[in-house]
Amino acid sequence: MPAFDKLAISTPQDFDFLVGHWRVSHRRLKERLLGCEDWETFEGSCHMWPLLGGLANLDDNVLQLPTGPYRALSMRTFDPNTHRWAIWWVDSRHPHRLDPPVVGGFADGVGEFQCDDELRGQPIRVRYRWTDTDTGRPRWQQAFSADGGVSWETNWVMDFERVAGAAA
């Protein structure tokens, strides 16, 4: 059971730290769940804004991959009955595919969101983790587990830096 289920109740304000324009430094494994230790780095940008009176938000991302740029969208919705967030990811390389949402919340300043998914036809567990949300330099990490969450491989890290002078 993820730690957030035991510790706190999330609120619609949990993602307010991300509203605005950001430069994003990406670091991701070239291969996932194959024992790869080869990382690639690239830059990007993100612009996030709230919707539905704060019960949802969207961010528009540009990822400058070494093989060429693409755009992606994160959509987050808050359920006031369960006090949980759901997060979906869509990208321009596969515009008709909506990945399963990761679901979770924040506890002690850390956001954790998980779901079941597949990689190369095999079941995996996916985890998103938000940290440093109160520092002005938030960090997002993605990890996969092939053993139901017993062990995790972090495969993508995004470090955010607010764009100076950009309107939220």
Give the C-alpha separation, 41 to 39, whole Å: 7
pLDDT at 165: 77
Cα separation values, 124 from 35, 81, 128, 129, 149, Å: 15, 28, 13, 16, 9
pLDDT at 8: 62
Taking the chain (168 residues) in consecutive chunks of 10 residues, what is each chunk's mean pLDDT?
56 96 97 95 98 97 95 96 96 89 94 96 97 95 97 98 78
Query: How many of the other CB atoms lie within 10 Å of CB of 69?
Result: 12
Domains and CATH numbers, the chain: 4-30+39-162 (2.40.128.20)
Give the C-alpha separation, 54 to 111, whole Å: 17
* Single pTM value for the model: 0.91
